[in-house]
Amino acid sequence: MIFMSQLRNCPECGRVFSYLHRNLCPRCLENEEDMFKDVRTFIKENPGATIVETSEATNVPEDTILRFLRDGRIVSQGLQSSIVLNCNRCGDVIKAGTHCQTCRDELNREIRNVSGAAAKTAPQKPAARSGDRMRILEDRKKNGR
Ligand SMILES: [Zn+2]
Ligand SMILES: [Zn+2]
């Protein structure tokens, strides 16, 4: 597959590499793993450390620490209180990851709806169908309890 072995330039060192799932060449990825371990070890010993303190102690750039936080790879009270993460969808303040719990639930529901709609090839009689579904739900309620 062409998509599987897309060639890219590493944004860190400029080396050409075949893109898999991370936009970094294997060497920089390994380097990033080392930095990740340093940060993780440091915040375990210093749970209240801010990003600046962590960056100074580990020699890991603040941007990289921020990325670890955004990816949800590290969780630390001190780091989180020194930055503000926002939900990509609604902008709410979140503790980790890219979306707040509400939006994550909604996104999951949307994905389910889309795949459900795609499965229905003939959506001509939505009224009758929802009527059927209501009846099924009512039957299930009666039988279930
Ligand atoms: Zn690189
Ligand atoms: Zn949200």
Q: Please compute the mean of the pLDDT values over residues 90-112 and round it to a whole number.
A: 88
pLDDT value for 83 = 67
pLDDT value for 133 = 54
Burial 27-38 (b: 16+ CB within 10 A, else e): ebbeebeebbee
- C-alpha 83 – ligand 2 centre gap (Å): 17
Q: Quick check: 49 and 55 in contact, CB under 8 A?
A: no
11 occurs within a structural domain: no
- The first and second tokens of residue 69, run together, are 């936080």
Q: Locate all alpha helices (DSSP H) within 59-125, ordered by sequence.
A: 62-70, 77-82, 101-119
pLDDT, tens digit, 9 for 90 and up, residues 15-70: 999 887 778 899 999 999 999 999 999 999 998 888 889 999 999 998 899 888 88
- C-alpha 109 – ligand 2 centre gap (Å): 14
- pLDDT surpassing 80 at residue 117: no
- C-alpha 69 – ligand 1 centre gap (Å): 21
- pLDDT surpassing 80 at residue 118: no
pLDDT value for 1 = 44
110 occurs within a structural domain: yes
- pLDDT surpassing 60 at residue 138: no
Start-to-end Cα distance in the chain: 52
- C-alpha 28 – ligand 1 centre gap (Å): 4
Question: What range does the domain containing 90 cover?
Answer: 85-117
Contacts of residue 103, defined as CB under 8 A and 6 or more positions apart, other chains included, come to 87, 88, 89, 90, 92
- C-alpha 96 – ligand 2 centre gap (Å): 12
- C-alpha 32 – ligand 1 centre gap (Å): 10
Q: Which ligand is nearest to the CA of 100?
A: 2
Strands (E), 15-88: 16-19, 85-86
102 occurs within a structural domain: yes
Rounded Cα distance between 4 and 2, Å, is 5
In Å, how far from its chain's centre is CA 75?
Answer: 14
Q: Which ligand is nearest to the CA of 105?
A: 2
Q: Which ligand is nearest to the CA of 89?
A: 2
Domains: count for the chain: 1
More confident residue, 84 or 12: 12
Q: Quick check: 99 and 107 in contact, CB under 8 A?
A: yes
pLDDT value for 15 = 93
Rounded Cα distance between 132 and 99, Å, is 35
More confident residue, 24 or 96: 24
90 occurs within a structural domain: yes
Of 55-59, 72-76, 81-85, the poorest mean pLDDT is in 81-85
pLDDT value for 137 = 57
What integer best gives the mean pLDDT of the chain? 79
104 occurs within a structural domain: yes
89 occurs within a structural domain: yes
Rounded Cα distance between 131 and 127, Å, is 6
- C-alpha 4 – ligand 1 centre gap (Å): 19
